[in-house]
């Protein structure tokens, strides 16, 4: 399913048919598309959006989430930090200064990773590849703006 173009968040770049590649939820998810676009509440902001579709009511769900890009990146940083967290120690491993709310439950994050390692490692590798490419092209691409 394509990201809708008629709603308040205006997609600029989309991942259509995301439901087919939604990790362990592929083919069984209401997340139908992802987009980076004009934020619905502030046209001067760029945001990321997960588009959820309510099959029962045949409409886009109000549970679709929109986040400013810096928060998407912060969630990525927090995800990686949680994967390398030592469950015996409660200290921050990232610049976000994350704290551990329950050291015992850190093992649940590690178990989730181990149970879904193939999907998660593939995405981390793709993120590493894109960050390296971004670093190579950043000055060239953004100096033109």
pLDDT for the residue numbered 35: 96
pLDDT for the residue numbered 90: 76
Give yes or no: residues 48 and 79 share one domain: no
Q: What are φ and ψ of residue 56, in 5° steps?
A: -60, -40
With respect to residue 57, please indicate whether it lies within any of the assigned structural domains: yes
pLDDT for the residue numbered 107: 85
With respect to residue 3, please indicate whether it lies within any of the assigned structural domains: no
- Model pTM above 0.85: no
- Roughly what angle, to the nearest 10 degrees, separates helices 69-84 and 103-115? 100
Give yes or no: residues 27 and 81 share one domain: no
Give yes or no: residues 44 and 16 share one domain: yes
pLDDT for the residue numbered 85: 83
Give yes or no: residues 26 and 55 share one domain: yes
Provide the residue-wise pLDDT of the chain in tens; the chain has 145 residues. Answer: 999 999 999 999 999 999 999 999 999 999 999 999 999 999 999 999 999 999 999 999 989 999 999 999 999 999 999 998 877 777 888 999 998 888 778 889 989 999 999 999 999 999 999 999 999 998 777 666 6
Give yes or no: residues 73 and 138 share one domain: yes
> Using CA atoms, how far apart are residues 12 and 45, in angstroms rounded to an integer?
12
> What is the residue range of 95's domain?
69-142
With respect to residue 80, please indicate whether it lies within any of the assigned structural domains: yes
């Amino acid at each position: 399913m394509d990201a809708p173009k008629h709603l308040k968040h205006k997609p600029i770049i989309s991942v259509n048919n995301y439901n087919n590649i939604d990790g362990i939820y592929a083919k069984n998810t209401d997340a139908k598309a992802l987009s980076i676009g004009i934020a619905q509440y502030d046209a001067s902001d760029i945001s990321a959006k997960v588009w959820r579709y309510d099959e029962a009511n045949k409409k886009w769900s109000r549970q679709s989430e929109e986040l400013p890009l810096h928060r998407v990146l912060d969630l990525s940083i927090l995800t990686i930090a949680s994967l390398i967290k030592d469950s015996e120690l409660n200290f921050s491993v990232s610049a976000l200064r994350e704290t551990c709310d329950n050291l015992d439950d850190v093992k649940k994050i590690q178990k989730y990773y181990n149970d879904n390692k193939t999907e998660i490692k593939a995405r981390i590798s793709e993120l590493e590849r894109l960050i390296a490419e971004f670093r190579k092209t950043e000055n060239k691409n953004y100096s033109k703006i």
